Structure 1
């Protein structure tokens, strides 16, 4: 059974030349184009075969009529025209360009090469995702990197420069705790050795990756997995408007792409449109939805129904949409606690539970308050950051990880179903500080 495609390993060789990456990118680009052409050729051949077979059946079924009304030479001519049309499709497939070879392609290829990947194994979807991530973090990157370059361009890193960097990091919504850690680490580095400006950015990348990976070195698995031979239950929490329902749909799609069966329990029964929105995503992804259309339905009852359905159908993953009302913290905590009691009672030990908070990245530091409230109520095991493509506050990922010790599990950079992927600290930091 496949799991999430999430390789966070990367090469530590900083001396690889730009020429190597360009050559690697060219090979990957050539491979993608060849695969695209093969797919187009296969589709065109199938269409041609279907057309010929259809023509043959039609001629056979109307043999008597054809013999009296349509000359044989005309029947053959019609079939030849159909074949000619499909032959045209075969030739035009060679000229189709699926993805542009540009600066962002080379950057994406570099990221994959650093992970130890081979050019002949790269897919178009992987390149498109990294391009989207790079573009999505552009607002944060511009504000952060331009100011860092001004400071670092003054010469070797100094104590005064570090103080300026502190201000820059705080403005990028990296948060007080994470900023303090970064500044202290830089200061300690200066005590050991001089840090030339050209090496400062690379060292800063290392620090940021350490922050983002720190929860994985303590209480959490290195990646979020759909575990085998147990029912996986993922509770999604978050305030209304964070993109929780959309994220559930994208997770269902991603699970299916990785070969996992999935059911969604629409347990946000307090927001009128929530269940309907979940159903729309269920139709898009061909995912069964467990819901109750009655008024004042108990969310725990919907989760119970979803749990029973998941066990009866032996599915791999049950996704649970929950309410996001922060105006009454007590009710929220009681509701989530009741859902957990239902799961613990009915599923006993044969389940693996993840409690994931969906945060709108455009909120910046306000996301910290949400994380604090939901971490008390939902026993969080991870965070999903959405709407990074519209945010200049991507530094919130570092703030959440440093302050709460929670791993970032997924990030979203667009509205399409493919625009949600497992989080990679290496990819994120490289996109954040790409020069």
Structure 2
């Protein structure tokens, strides 16, 4: 746990430093109105969102002993507890992974495949990004490294056909986990979003109760755009969980709170770096502790 927390805290350093600039050396039990205004500004800058931040500060200040510790408690209360995954009683667990371009989706799928393999599960990955040969090759490297198997077709093939073949093979050969990749797409492209809806429908034809989970990969550095992306993808693909990546590359860690509050979706994993170990199961308390500066902490 200490190693987990240290990696997470390091990954959230830019977000925490931004808050520390507005909260240096404060006595946490004696915050003035000006202090709370600074904290509010800091949370907005960290992309918690204006509406959420105002509600959060108002709630905390109503409490006896309003303090940074009380702020931490309020943040934890608004993060939904991630329940167990919707795994089937029999047959493979089918996971559909979606997201816009540039979120790190391909790398994330490779890391997920590795994690499932480390749990002793057999894994089959469908290379549904048929538009970019480089994406398929990148995925193939990760899949081979993980010790998983992959279904791929020729460049330009119908992504829905790849998804169908992947799920069918996963069922026929008794794989434990089937992960279906999809091409990154902008949520405003109606044609590509319709194609994504088709992929989901075809998966359900291959396995009636699948996909069992639909995880959307979101770049934590995109701020408010992430909210719009989740809204659109959820409507089309039925997003059931989020993976927030690249939290180490910006001071926007508060977007995790905003996404959780707005959509009520569990944050399954967060990414704070390039290595396998930097994609970690989301732990609400570790996240909030890593996000908020400790009393007296100053930005470097």
> Same fold judged by TM-score > 0.5?
yes
Q: 2:14: which partner in 1?
A: 139
- Is the CA contact 2:267–2:282 (under 8 Å) kept in the aligned structure 1? yes
- Is the CA contact 1:254–1:418 (under 8 Å) kept in the aligned structure 2? no
Cα distance, 1:225 vs structure 2: 6.3
Q: 1:205: which partner in 2?
A: 72
Residues 1:287 and 2:148 aligned together? yes
| Residue 201 (structure 2) aligned to one of 341, 353, 359 | 341
How many angstroms apart in 2 are the aligned matches of 1:252 and 1:317?
A: 9
- Is the CA contact 2:160–2:202 (under 8 Å) kept in the aligned structure 1? yes
Cα distance, 1:159 vs structure 2: 4.5
How many angstroms apart in 1 are the aligned matches of 2:112 and 2:65?
A: 46
Q: 1:399: which partner in 2?
A: 258
**Divergent runs of 4+, >4 A:** 225-228
- Is the CA contact 2:196–2:237 (under 8 Å) kept in the aligned structure 1? yes
Report the 3-state secondary structure (helix = DSSP H, G, I; strand = E; otherwise coil) of the residue aligned with 2:8. Answer: helix
Q: 1:66: which partner in 2?
A: none
- Cα distance change on mapping 1:223 and 1:327 into 2, 3 Å: closer
- Cα distance change on mapping 1:410 and 1:225 into 2, 3 Å: farther
Q: Which has the higher contact order (CA 8 A, sep 6+)?
A: 2
- Cα distance change on mapping 1:434 and 1:158 into 2, 3 Å: closer
Unaligned 5+ runs, structure 2: 295-300
Report the 3-state secondary structure (helix = DSSP H, G, I; strand = E; otherwise coil) of the residue aligned with 2:274. Answer: coil
Q: Taking structure 2 as the reference length, what is the TM-score of the superposition? A: 0.90
Q: 2:234: which partner in 1?
A: 375
How many angstroms apart in 2 are the aligned matches of 1:363 and 1:331?
A: 23
Cα distance, 1:141 vs structure 2: 0.8
Q: Taking structure 1 as the reference length, what is the TM-score of the superposition? A: 0.63
| Residue 174 (structure 1) aligned to one of 39, 44, 48 | 48
> More helix per residue: 1 or 2?
1
Report the 3-state secondary structure (helix = DSSP H, G, I; strand = E; otherwise coil) of the residue aligned with 1:183. Answer: helix
Cα distance, 1:249 vs structure 2: 0.3
- Cα distance change on mapping 1:272 and 1:328 into 2, 3 Å: farther
Cα distance, 1:352 vs structure 2: 5.5
Residues 1:308 and 2:182 aligned together? no
| Stretch deviating more after TM superposition (247-256 or 405-414) | 405-414
Q: Deviations over 1:286-309 (max 9, x none)?
A: 11010102x421100000110111
Q: 2:102: which partner in 1?
A: 241
Q: Size of the alignment, in residue pairs? A: 294
Bigger Rg, structure 1 or 2: 1
- Cα distance change on mapping 1:403 and 1:289 into 2, 3 Å: same
How many angstroms apart in 2 are the aligned matches of 1:138 and 1:242?
A: 20
- Is the CA contact 2:187–2:232 (under 8 Å) kept in the aligned structure 1? no
How many angstroms apart in 2 are the aligned matches of 1:149 and 1:223?
A: 39
- Is the CA contact 1:177–1:403 (under 8 Å) kept in the aligned structure 2? no
- Is the CA contact 1:264–1:289 (under 8 Å) kept in the aligned structure 2? yes
Q: 1:317: which partner in 2?
A: 177
How many angstroms apart in 2 are the aligned matches of 1:272 and 1:177?
A: 42
Cα distance, 1:375 vs structure 2: 1.9
Q: 2:274: which partner in 1?
A: 415
Cα distance, 1:384 vs structure 2: 0.3
Cα distance, 1:346 vs structure 2: 2.0
Q: Deviations over 1:29-84 (max 9, x none)?
A: xxxxxxxxxxxxxxxxxxxxxxxxxxxxxxxxxxxxxxxxxxxxxxxxxxxxxxxx
Q: 1:187: which partner in 2?
A: 61
How many angstroms apart in 2 are the aligned matches of 1:187 and 1:430?
A: 19
- Is the CA contact 1:236–1:357 (under 8 Å) kept in the aligned structure 2? yes
How many angstroms apart in 1 are the aligned matches of 2:86 and 2:245?
A: 20
Q: Deviations over 1:132-155 (max 9, x none)?
A: 1111111111111341346x4496
